[in-house]
Structure 1
Amino acid sequence: MFKIGEFSKLTQVSIRMLRYYDENDLLKPAQTDPFSGYRLYSVEQIPRLQKIIFLRDIGYTVAEIKGALENWSGDFMADQLKNKQIEVQRSLEQEQEKLIKIETALDSIKKDEIGIRYNFTIKQIPSYPVISLRRVIPNYFCEDKLWQELTERIELSNKSKIELAVTDQCFAVYHDNEFKEADVDVEVCVVVTKAVAVAEPLCFRRTEAVAMMACTMVYGPYENISGTFRALAYWLTEHVRYRMKGKDRQICHRGPWNEENPAHYLTEIQIELEKVN
C-alpha cells in the first residue's frame, strides 16, 4: 500500500487531483488508516486512474467519467468513444473555420479594407423549365445533401426519359427573405429540355423570369460567399437607383464534385433587384 504522496509521485498525478477524485467518487483510496486518517492506495488502482485521466483529457465530465467506468467493457464504451470522436472532429472543424476568419481579417487589415469588393453586373434571367426539390434544411451547409437527394431521385425517375439541358445547368433558390441560422427554405433545380411528369417530392415547374439580377462570381471556399452580401451593401449605397427584392439564387460552376481544391471553387451569386422610383 502507498501513502497518497507516494502514490502521487508514482502515478504523476497531484495530491490535489487524487483528493478531488476521492471526493467525486471516481477513485476512493483502497484503505484509510483509522488512526491517522491517511489515504492509502494500491497498485491495482493504477489502471482505473489511467482510465480517469484518459477520459478527463478527451473532455469527459465527472458524471460522464462515472458512467464510462461503470460500463467500460462491451459495445457501450466503443459507441461512447465513437460519439466523442465525432464531437471532437466537429469542434476541430469549427476551430478551423475560426482560423480562416482570423486569417481573412488579418489580410483585410493589411489591405486596409473590410472584405473583398466584388464586381456586380446586372443580368436579365429567363424562365427555365426545371425539376426541383424543395425542403427546409437544418442550415446552408446541408444543401449538398439536398443536391444528392435530387440527383438520386432523378436517376430513379429516368424511366420517364428525363432530358437534362445540354448545359447541365443547375441552381439553388433561397426562399427565405432573411438570413437564417437554422431551418433554411432551399429549392435545388436542374434545367430540363421539356415538361415531364415526376413523382413527389420532386416537382416540374417553370422558374420565374427575373428582370434584374445583380450577379457576381465568388472564387474559393463557400465561406467566402458571406462577403459577397457585405460587398453588395457597399454596391447598393453607390447605386441608389436599385434595392434588393425577391429571392436569391446560387449557381455552383466548380465545386466538390469537379474540383478537389476548395480554393478553386467558382460560385455565381444572383440577387434580385428592382429600381427605386
Structure 2
Amino acid sequence: MFRIGEFSKLAEVSIRMLRYYDAIGILKPAEVDKWTGHRLYSVEQIPRLNKILYLRDSGFNVDEIAHVLDMDDYLLLEHLERKRSEINRVIQGEQKKLKKIAIAKDEIQCNKSELHYNISIKSIPGQKVLSLRKIVPTYHSEGDLWNEISAFAKDKKIKISNNTFSIYHDTEYKERDVDIELCAPVNTLQKNTPMPSSFCFRITEPIQTMASTMVYGDFSNISGAYIAFSKWLQKNSQYRMLNPMRQIVHRGPWNENDSLKFLIEIQIPLELE
C-alpha cells in the first residue's frame, strides 16, 4: 500500500486531484488507516486512474467520466466515438471562425473596397426538372441533398443537364429547419418513374422579372452580393423583392479545386411596386 504522496509520485497525479477524485467517488482509496486517517492506494488502482486521465484528456467532463468509467469496452468505444464526433464539430466551427477572422484581417490590412456586383434584370422561363425538396437542419446541409439527388438520378438512369439550381422557399433567413428545393433540369418529365415523396418531376414557375448577380470567388463573398443587392433595391425603389430566391453554382467544389475561381449566380424575383 502507498500513502497518497507516494501514490501521487508513482502515478504522476497531484495530491489535490487524487483527493478530488476521492470526493466525487470515481477513485476511492483502497484503504483508509483507521488510526491516522491516511488514504492508502494500491498499485492495482493505477489502470483505473489511467482510464480516468485519458477520458479527461479526451474531453469528457467529470459527470461523463463517472457515467462511462465502469462500462465494458464495447459501450465505451461508442461513447468515445460520440465524443470524437462532438469535438470534430467544434473544430469545424472554430475553423469557420478562423476563416472569417482571416477575411476580416485581409479587408482591413489591404483596405479593399467592396467587390463589384453587377445586377441585371432578366426573364427566366419555366424548366422541366427533377426536384428534391426537403426541410433540412441548416443551409450547410444542402451538400447532402446534392449527393442524394445525384445518387437517385444515377440509380434511375435519369439524364440531367447542366445549370442545376437551388430554390430557397422560406420567406426569411432561418438558422434551423430550412426549406430547400434542388432542381436538376431534364429533357423529359418521367411521370412513371417510382420515387420517394421528396422527389418529383415538375416544371418550375417562369419568372418574368428576375434580378441576377454573379458572385466570383469563395462562398464567403455571397454575403457581399446580398448587401450590394439591398443597396441596388433601395436605389431602384420601383421594385419589390419576392420569394423564393434561387442560387446556381456554375463553378463549385465539384468542378473547380480553387475556391477563388468559384462562380455562383444569385437570383431574386422582383415585381414593380
Query: Structure 2 length as normaliser, TM-score?
Result: 0.89
Point out where structure 1 has 5 or more consecutive residues left out of the alignment: none
Q: Deviations over 1:175-208 (max 9, x none)?
A: 1111111111111111122333143433222211
Asked if structure 2 preserves the Cα contact closer than 8 Å seen for 1:129 and 1:207, the reply is: yes
User: RMSD of aligned C-alpha atoms?
Assistant: 2.2
The number of residue pairs the alignment matches comes to 270
1:214 pairs with 2:206: no
What is the aligned partner in structure 2 of residue 86 from structure 1? 85
What is the aligned partner in structure 2 of residue 247 from structure 1? 244
What is the aligned partner in structure 2 of residue 54 from structure 1? 54
Supply the distance in 2 between the matched residues of 1:172 and 1:43 (Cα, whole angstroms).
63
What is the aligned partner in structure 2 of residue 170 from structure 1? 164
Q: Deviations over 1:50-74 (max 9, x none)?
A: 1111111221122221232201x43
1:164–1:8 CA distance, 2 compared to 1 (3 A): closer
Supply the distance in 1 between the matched residues of 2:237 and 2:251 (Cα, whole angstroms).
32
What is the aligned partner in structure 2 of residue 180 from structure 1? 174
What is the aligned partner in structure 1 of residue 19 from structure 2? 19
SS in 2 for 1:203: strand
2:262 to 259, 262, 265: 265
SS in 1 for 2:34: coil
Supply the distance in 2 between the matched residues of 1:237 and 1:164 (Cα, whole angstroms).
38
Asked if structure 1 preserves the Cα contact closer than 8 Å seen for 2:153 and 2:159, the reply is: no
What is the aligned partner in structure 2 of residue 122 from structure 1? 121
Greater displacement, 29-38 / 199-208: 199-208
Supply the distance in 2 between the matched residues of 1:64 and 1:163 (Cα, whole angstroms).
51
Asked if structure 2 preserves the Cα contact closer than 8 Å seen for 1:122 and 1:213, the reply is: yes
1:18–1:115 CA distance, 2 compared to 1 (3 A): farther
Supply the distance in 2 between the matched residues of 1:163 and 1:97 (Cα, whole angstroms).
36
Greater displacement, 34-43 / 102-111: 102-111
SS in 2 for 1:246: coil
State percent identity of aligned pairs: 47
**Shift in Å at residue 270 of structure 1?**
1.0
Supply the distance in 2 between the matched residues of 1:214 and 1:170 (Cα, whole angstroms).
18
What is the aligned partner in structure 1 of residue 32 from structure 2? 32
Greater displacement, 12-21 / 93-102: 12-21
Asked if structure 2 preserves the Cα contact closer than 8 Å seen for 1:108 and 1:115, the reply is: no
**Shift in Å at residue 26 of structure 1?**
1.0
Supply the distance in 2 between the matched residues of 1:247 and 1:57 (Cα, whole angstroms).
48
Point out where structure 2 has 5 or more consecutive residues left out of the alignment: none
Asked if structure 2 preserves the Cα contact closer than 8 Å seen for 1:244 and 1:274, the reply is: yes
Query: Structure 1 length as normaliser, TM-score?
Result: 0.87
1:189 pairs with 2:183: yes
Letter in 1 for 2:14: S
Letter in 1 for 2:194: A
Supply the distance in 1 between the matched residues of 2:221 and 2:46 (Cα, whole angstroms).
50
Letter in 2 for 1:253: H
1:114–1:82 CA distance, 2 compared to 1 (3 A): farther
Supply the distance in 1 between the matched residues of 2:93 and 2:13 (Cα, whole angstroms).
32
What is the aligned partner in structure 2 of residue 199 from structure 1? 194
SS in 2 for 1:259: coil
